[in-house]
Amino acid sequence: MNSRLFRTKPMLDHTHQASDNNEMKRALSATNLTTLGIGAVIGAGIFVLTGQAAAQYAGPAIVISFLISGLACLFAGLCYAEFASMIPISGSAYTYAYSTLGEFIAWIIGWDLILEYLFAASTVSVGWSGYVVSFLKDFGINIPPQFTAAYSTVLVNIPDLGWKPITDQLTASLASSGVLIASLPHITAVLNLPAMFIVALITILLIIGIKESASFNNIMVMIKVFVIVLFIGIGFFFVHKANWHPFIPENTGVWGHFGWSGILRGSAVIFFAYIGFDAVSTAAQEAKNPQRDMPIGILGSLGISTILYILVAIVLTGIVSYTFLNVADPIAVGVNEMGAGLFWLRPIIKIAAIAGLSSVILVMMLGQPRIFYAMSKDGLLPAKFSKIHPRFKTPYYSTVITGVVALILAGILPINILGELVSIGTLLAFAIVCVGILVLRYKRPELKRPFKTPLVPLVPILGAGICLLQMYSLPFDTWLRLIIWMAIGIIIYFTYSIKNSKLVKNAKKV
């Protein structure tokens, strides 16, 4: 049994899968891949989590939290870049683990990535809904509250079942994700139509084609980066240095609430914001020249996004005291603090947030079907998940499945709890990729590596170590949710996947 669980997929199999007979259309340039990464990174993190993490965990020292997360991502990104240049096919960390650590670990990572992409997409769509509703309200367009609220809020009207503590938590969490829910205790929610609309629209766009999806993403990225740079440039003139003191607030006596432990927990929570460069690697099979373009896309998007995050954190905590940033729209709060003369910037910030969250949803929903595709090709999921549309050359079946599930989940899962859950899943994936580089360098030193991770073994060890340290700093509840999710995945693996694995079947034939 052990030999079956840890059997690795031969590199030659990956080479054949990435051959000229590639089923999916190669249409992405290095620029497209970089903007895909930026599209996923610059979103909920910068428009929501930056302020919340500063207010709850790190204070102005959230800047250090971003540096820690950015450093972990740099080390992991260098490892990703080596793998992506060697194995230029869909699947991301799942594929890399299959080649180095064995099928069972690959399944764990694949299941982990489902948590990362699918749940993140559905949750961010709620934030998108909140910003859209707020933006339309500024122009006198009011959508009835029952059609802009999460379906779960109907529980607010049935406290006799003993669910009120749960609904109170959900209501508070939804408020933190940007949903306008001031009147929710007095209404019965029907559907979050804006959230469902954006998920449906992006699902159709992803089915039509990768090139069209990338073009849409490029436009969204240009809008939000321009507005973020505008906020940074103007905001520097409104910084009050007194807001940076104390730079590291004194710990409250509880681990993770300010002080250095708060900085560490803050870095783990905001790691949710960095999952974009991982999404780049899921599109490897649609890159024009993956050996060259994948490292550029991964490292380029990571570098640009980290710089923007740090600058926004410095400016935002300088304009507004961190104690006032535990809100759904911290950037908008910063604009308000600049004075009435800059009120014109507020709707522009909302447009950028809408654009930013749109591109996050797109890249998350682009990545998930391609992970399904890779796992299906290996027999670990049913064959339908790897069906390619005859005209559009996209994995349409898995895209539809992703879209339908995201539609159902949209507006139900709270962003603050899910942000931590997605962060721990991402950190686990990154740590395994770093370990995979060490294993492959030791086992297969002769393999061709178009891009080589520098300073091995130091970089992979530091990458895995920092990721594991950040995982350790997350709350126990987050670990518990991860364990439950993984337990479900393990049950599926032993009841279906291991019996249908093509690697095991091919080994039996031999």
CB 45 within 8 A of CB 363: no
DSSP 7: P
3-state secondary structure 85-154: HHCCCCCCHHHHHHHHCCHHHHHHHHHHHHHHHHHHHHHHHHHHHHHHHHHHHHCCCCCCHHHECCHHHH
Q: What is the mean pLDDT of the chain?
A: 77
* CA-closest candidate to residue 70, choices 229, 261, 267: 267
Domain residue ranges of the chain, discontinuous segments joined by +? 2-509
Share of the chain above pLDDT 90, in %: 13
| pLDDT above 50 (res 315) | yes
In the structure, how many helices (H) and strands (E) does the chain have? 22, 0
Structure-model confidence comparison of residues 492 and 482, the more confident one: 492
- Residue 287's SS3 state is strand
Residue 411 near residue 174 (C-beta atoms within 8 A): yes
Confidence of residue 185 (pLDDT cuts 50, 70, 90): very low
pLDDT tens, residue by residue, 438-489: 988 888 888 888 888 999 899 999 999 988 888 887 778 878 888 898 999 9
CATH 1.20.1740.10 for domain 2-509: yes
* Partners of 28 in beta bridges: 287
CA-angle at 72, arms to 87 and 86, nearest 5°: 10
Token pair recorded at residue 365: 């929903």
For 164, residues 6+ apart whose C-beta sits below 8 A from its C-beta are 156
Q: What is the pLDDT of residue 120?
A: 77
Asked whether the beta carbons of 460 and 75 are under 8 A apart, the reply is yes
When pLDDT is cut at 50, 70 and 90, the band that residue 71 belongs to is confident
Q: What is the pTM of this model?
A: 0.72
Cis? peptide before 457, omega within 30° of 0: yes
Angle between helices 30-41 and 210-235 (to 10 degrees): 60
Q: What percent of the chain has pLDDT over 70?
A: 78
* φ, ψ (nearest 5 deg) of residue 501: -60, 125
DSSP state of 218: H
Residues 236, 234: Cα–Cα separation, whole Å = 6
Instruction: Specify the pLDDT at position 249.
Output: 92
Distance CA(191)–CA(87), nearest Å, equals 42
Task: Round to whole Å and give the CA distance between 212 and 219.
Answer: 11
SS3 484: helix
Q: What is the pLDDT of residues 28-47, one digit of tens each?
A: 777 888 887 887 777 767 77
Contact by Cβ (8 Å): 484, 272: no
Instruction: Report which of residues 2 and 171 the model is more confident about.
Output: 2
Round to whole Å and give the CA distance between 431 and 420: 16
Rg of the chain's alpha carbons, rounded to an integer? 22
pLDDT for 33: 80
Which tops the pLDDT comparison, 404 or 152? 404
Model pLDDT for residues 50-64, shown as the tens digit of each residue: 888 899 999 999 999
